[in-house]
Structure 1
Amino acid sequence: MSENPVQTPPSRRPLRRDPPGARRPVRQRLSVAQLKPPTLTPPQKKALGWTGAVLIAVAVGIAILIAIWDWNWFREPLERAASARLNRQVTISGDLNADVWSWQPTATVNRIAIANPAWAGQGTLGTIDRLRVRVRLVPLLWGKADIRVLAVERPNFKLLADAKGRRNWDFSDGRKKTPMNLPPIQHFLIDEGRLSYLDAQRDVRFEGTIDAREQLGSATRGFQLHGRGTINGAPFRAEVVGGPLLNIERDKPYPFNAEIRAGRTLVTAKGAVPKPFDLARFYMDATARGPDLAELFPLTGLALPNTPPYSVRGRVVREALMWRVDGFGGRIGDSDIAGKISVDTAGARPFLRADLTSRSLDFDDLGSVFGGAPKAGPGETASAEQAVAGRKMAARQRMFPDTPLDMTRIRAMDADVTFKALSIRDTPIKLSSAEARVRLEDGLLRARPLRLDLPHGRVEGFVTLDARKAEARTELDLRLSNSRIETIIPLQFQGSPPVTGPLVGRARLVGSGNSVHAAFAGADGAVTVVATGGEIRKALAELLGVNVIKGLGLLNKQDMTPIRCGVANFDTRNGVMHANSIVLDTGPVVVRGKGVVNLGTERIDLTFRGQDKRFRLVRVLLPITAKGPIMAPKVGVQPGSAVAQGGAALALGTLLTPLAAILPFVDPGLAKNADCAALVAEARADGAPVRSVAAKPLTGKR
């Protein structure tokens, strides 16, 4: 027997019961006639036919109009739009053509000319014989440009920068703008391009050719720029080669190589543009070598210091208006150099920031920075010109270089540079290390703080160069502290220093001129050195008093005598240092000095006279002289009448009258804590006219 459930016939299914008060929807049945489309009446059919005919006629008319349209109608609107965009008059004297019946429409513009700005005179910035552009239509409808082909035929551009720094290719409204960022270009072609460049400020002239083809000869190559010219009268050659400009992918780096020769300067680079045609960002591994870093100014616009021959390297990275040099290192002269550099070009002037270190600095390499020359002997690095300049300075026995410094370059940039030398060699005095922070702002250069470390003691202070006017003004204020006489004057006498003891000092000078020599030749200020104690060989002390017989008798003895106080003070006016107070008080002898040091002629004329503190039966009292060039003075004895004995205490006291004013100039606590203070007190007790006065201020122009 079947167990299938019994199916209830439809007629017997229970009826759906609606809740009380509910209204059931009324179902409407459509007839067959109602399901048929409405029948158009003859007038309606006639109107629809006319509408279709009109639309077809309009479409055909548009097609015919486009086919026969004179695209030159758009010439003037296009000129106005381009002129407004470039802030420069743009004219189109050739035909305009377009092919719009394609998913990749093409437009061609013939004979384009871009005018110079008013300050550049008559003529054109550049001309293009023909410009052809093909784009994809669909991205263009959404406001995005996808360029399939950009072909430029026979472009000829003449770039000009005048002495004021104005550039005829600057289309901005005076504000800094990021570099060009073009849309993607699949095929970029430049045929028979010409480029000339004239920079009056940097003295650069360049004539070059530009080509960018898919086929150059038998090999597939890409962008090429070749040119020759001059920089400061020296031959200049540039070559830039890029990868094939065919099927470039937006997210695939575009490689390039560059080589620039300017005189004896060689710059090479190998890099890439991460996003092709985005010229605001790229990187390159670069090397540079040449006779002088300052010769890179025409290429970089940076006022780099004069240096001996150099060879440096680093990775140059550009990010919009910021440039960086990562991994910078190499050699300058006989010194190593390393650190990091950045240049911000967003402001009115480039701003250079650098943190540099030298593990081993050859001191004579610094001479080039101030217009001098490094040594030119065996094992030394110097250019041919620097070697000649060094020989001339040596022949003239000059210490201060007279090569004019180019102040226009100093005004052309701003900078904040920190430099450290961990060790220094080949120094005129013993220096162990150095550190300086150099800031340059609107023509005002300040080296502050400036520190030079000695084995004993240190020199620290600041140097300022104000190049904001036609004639530069230099100010220096340097203090010598906690030093030793034997460190500054490294003499040896019978195997040991003849003079030892603590030494302090200060130099404060202000001068004007566009060379180091000119600044010192007209300097005002003061220079003071104080020995606050120590010892001197008795033999040397006796000879300073020109007690010849006694001094010669002590030459083989090692006994020492104390230095109670030694002071040398020079009041400087118009480049001449007048020795107002030179005093050396030792056990047996008091030495006094006078004379001048002429910083303009770089010659000295000093006389030293000693007085015994005790009566000597046999003696010769003659002045000792030091005359001649500062670099090589000659020491001798000046014949003259004998000096009477006696009165040493009174003479010393008279000489020390201004000492209370001199010592605070070097160190405010010196007059109280040094043996010189006791000497002043002793002279006062002996009846000498010694007064305590305030420190004499610097009278140079501030």
Structure 2
Amino acid sequence: MAKMLKWNELWSDLRRRGIDPAVARARSFHDWVRRNDPVYAAVRRPGRAEAWAGGVGLFLIGLVVLALILFDWNMVRGPIGRWASAAYDRDIALQGDLDVHLFSWTPSAVVRGLKIGGPEWARDRDTADVDEIRASVRLRKLFAGQIEMPLLSFTRPQLVLITDKDGRNSWDLNPEKPDTGEGMKLPVIQQLVITDGSLVFDERRRGLKLEATVDAREGQGDDAGFVLDGEGEVNGSPLTLRVRGGPFINIRRDRPYDFEASVSGAGSSLTAKGAVTRPFDLGRFDATLSLQGRDLSDLYLLTGVALPNTPPYRLKGALKRNENIWTFSDFDGRVGASDLSGDVRVDAAKRLRVDAELTSRRLDIDDLAAVLGARTVTNAAGSNTEAPVAVGGKLLPDAPLQTERLRAMDGSLSYRAVAVKANDLDVRAVNLGAELKDGVLDLDPVSFNFNRGELNGTARINATRDIPYSVVDFRLAGYPLESIIPARDGTAPLTGRALGRARLEGPGASIHDFAAASKGSLSLVVPDGQMRSAFAELLGINASAGLLKLLRGDQSTAQIRCAVADFDVRGGAATAKTLVIDTDVVLAQGTGTIDLGAETLDLRVDGESKKPRLLRVWAPITVKGALTAPQVGVDVRALVGQGGVAGLLSAVVAPVTALFAFVDPGLAEDANCGRLIAGAR
């Protein structure tokens, strides 16, 4: 009761202070209008003039309504077509009847014979040719600023979509307007019907052609829903595409619209199953994407995204589109014999940009070689069955870099291999980074960690020209010689740590072409180490000591005081400036060249014994032939005057040749090799 009294007091106070004064002011204004406004007076008590004016106005409105009801809308087909043709610089015409029904809560229109021609550069094919279009809208929603269509129906629509080599799209009615990459936004459609539709897509930059049928039916049966089914070719290989969605009759703005899509071509197969999160907004959807194929680089032909060469792959992850941003996240799978996981983000607004963060828990180093252009073969289980082979049978891969693809996008890459499967080079971990901007690719870092030692460096590839120009700088630190030259009879013929550097630059579309035209320097330093005494003696062709030690199986070692190989590179030819192997028993010095283009070498090593020997054969050791299979021998011409003992030691010094496979940076000076290292710089 007390609460009721309190509420009455509050209401009385509110009326006294606010409501009653406001009502009084409104009544006062109303009385003033009645006394002074001539329009109000004319409406309440119209005179003869006002009555005539009102009658004429109502008559005119009636005439307009009657005219709209009886109007032959075909009369405006010509004007509409001429206006549209001029506005969009292409032939646009309404060739059939045009019916419009305005006076309804769901105004509707029927357009027959709509033709939209191609732009000036594609006049030979019409962009669209539709026999009939039926559409209706809800008037009440329209007054509220929303478009809701109870029906949208197309009969025999024929679409021809062409993209030329310059990236122009024939369906773009406003080519001057920048492409933001956003998806199409449709009004709310309660019933979508497409009967006998066809679609032709011709993407001339990638050699992609597709002819598809398009149908949409409402209902509850198996044939209800949206279906796009097409076949064609991409870069000469077969292409198939299928997209299927449910019927539109049950769509609501707050319910996802399920769909399935699959595309197969260019050695690749992609399958997506997901939903448009906000129906009628095709710029937003979520899906699970599975993809597999023979080479990730082939996906460029289907997606327009440049990817590196790889062995066969199988990946699966979450695909999401949010307007112009596409993400492929939390994916996992295999590439060749290696696992691969990570996230990829594609920004399609204005200039295409791709950013990727990738990880391998266990990398097969042969799969990484495929990125450089080598070929690997994997079995059904995903294991490599052959060692990587460079394309064309060369040691250095000659697979060309696709410069036009690099110029079409920007991006970044981060890749880390936590562990590496057992390999001949004893690589234990890999860390790579890349940044692509305006056709210039910077690789930084390029890092390989070995069991002992590491290789680090950077590279820049300028792909703004047809033949890219590259600059590389790689450093090798602390790499064990015993990892280069395998042990024999349980004993490594060489031990020690190698330091190296390669500084090269030049033009070339492939690694092989780059090396064949490069200039710069290659150098290798072994500050100290151990060599099997037998091989040290044979560097000086000392038959009395070297052969006896070999025949007896002597495992004793000699100290390597220093070893330096320093090459000057010009036009792909590496000429030895310094080639020295200094042991405590022999000083060996060499000359010669390595042809990086022909992938051959021609080296000569002369050894001089530091100790008096009973028998000494004075003859240089030669290293000739292909880099993949060098031939080591003795210069027989120097043996003629020494009793004709040619061929005495034709193959016993083979381990020395492995030293020439590495490069040297000329790092910190060592007490044993300071002078030679300084000269190698």
Q: 1:535 is matched by which residue type in structure 2?
A: Q
Q: Unaligned 5+ residue runs, structure 1?
A: 1-39, 646-663, 681-691, 697-702
For the 8 Å contact 1:93–1:112, the answer to whether it is kept is yes
In the alignment, structure 1 residue 209 sits paired with structure 2 residue 220? no
In the alignment, structure 1 residue 137 sits paired with structure 2 residue 169? no
Match of 1:355, SS state, is strand
- Per-residue CA deviation, residues 489-513 of structure 1 (Å, 9 max, x unaligned), is 1421331222212220101112322
Match of 1:251, SS state, is coil
> How far 1:463 moved relative to its partner?
1.9
For the 8 Å contact 1:480–1:504, the answer to whether it is kept is yes
User: What's the RMSD between the two structures over aligned residues?
Assistant: 3.0
For the 8 Å contact 2:476–2:664, the answer to whether it is kept is no
- Per-residue CA deviation, residues 528-575 of structure 1 (Å, 9 max, x unaligned), is 000111222222211222112212333433332221111011111111
For the 8 Å contact 1:366–1:374, the answer to whether it is kept is no
Question: Which of 466, 469, 487 is 1:470 aligned to?
Answer: 466
- 1:256-655 equivalences in 2 (<5 Å): 256-348=259-351, 350-375=352-377, 390=389, 393=392, 398-425=394-421, 427-487=423-483, 489-555=484-550, 556-641=553-638
> How far 1:426 moved relative to its partner?
5.5
For the 8 Å contact 2:390–2:396, the answer to whether it is kept is no
- Per-residue CA deviation, residues 646-695 of structure 1 (Å, 9 max, x unaligned), is xxxxxxxxxxxxxxxxxx9824532xx34112679xxxxxxxxxxx77x8
The residue aligned with 1:248 is: 251
| Change beyond 3 A, Cα 1:71–1:516 | same
Match of 2:366, SS state, is helix
| Change beyond 3 A, Cα 1:123–1:374 | closer
Q: Unaligned 5+ residue runs, structure 2?
A: 1-41, 643-662
The residue aligned with 1:68 is: 70
Q: 2:101 is matched by which residue type in structure 1?
A: D
> How far 1:56 moved relative to its partner?
6.4
In the alignment, structure 1 residue 100 sits paired with structure 2 residue 102? yes
> How far 1:48 moved relative to its partner?
8.9
For the 8 Å contact 1:309–1:381, the answer to whether it is kept is no
- 1:616-695 equivalences in 2 (<5 Å): 616-641=613-638, 666-667=665-666, 669-670=668-669, 673-677=670-674
Q: Which stretch shows the higher mean deviation, 75-84 or 507-516?
A: 75-84
| Change beyond 3 A, Cα 1:122–1:290 | same
Question: Which of 208, 219, 222 is 1:219 aligned to?
Answer: 222
The residue aligned with 2:234 is: 231
Q: 2:532 is matched by which residue type in structure 1?
A: R
The residue aligned with 2:201 is: 197
- Per-residue CA deviation, residues 455-495 of structure 1 (Å, 9 max, x unaligned), is 111111112222211112222110011332223x1421331
Matched residue count: 614
For the 8 Å contact 2:376–2:388, the answer to whether it is kept is no
- Per-residue CA deviation, residues 34-90 of structure 1 (Å, 9 max, x unaligned), is xxxxxx9xx979889877865765565344323211223444564477568867553
For the 8 Å contact 2:362–2:420, the answer to whether it is kept is yes
| Change beyond 3 A, Cα 1:381–1:300 | farther
| Change beyond 3 A, Cα 1:118–1:52 | closer
- Per-residue CA deviation, residues 182-213 of structure 1 (Å, 9 max, x unaligned), is 12111111111111011111000111111111
For the 8 Å contact 1:220–1:244, the answer to whether it is kept is no
Match of 2:140, SS state, is helix
TM-score by length of 1: 0.81
For the 8 Å contact 1:211–1:224, the answer to whether it is kept is yes
- Per-residue CA deviation, residues 380-401 of structure 1 (Å, 9 max, x unaligned), is 7579xxx9994985xx5x2122
| Change beyond 3 A, Cα 1:404–1:271 | same
For the 8 Å contact 2:125–2:160, the answer to whether it is kept is no
In the alignment, structure 1 residue 125 sits paired with structure 2 residue 120? no
The residue aligned with 1:20 is: none
Match of 2:534, SS state, is helix
Q: 1:357 is matched by which residue type in structure 2?
A: T
- Per-residue CA deviation, residues 137-191 of structure 1 (Å, 9 max, x unaligned), is 1121233211111112221111111111211123342412322111211111111
Give, in whole Å, the separation in 2 of the partners of 1:324 and 1:86.
34
| Change beyond 3 A, Cα 1:238–1:615 | same
Match of 2:536, SS state, is helix
TM-score by length of 2: 0.84
The residue aligned with 1:179 is: 183
| Change beyond 3 A, Cα 1:204–1:309 | same
> How far 1:124 moved relative to its partner?
2.2
Give, in whole Å, the separation in 2 of the partners of 1:186 and 1:379.
49
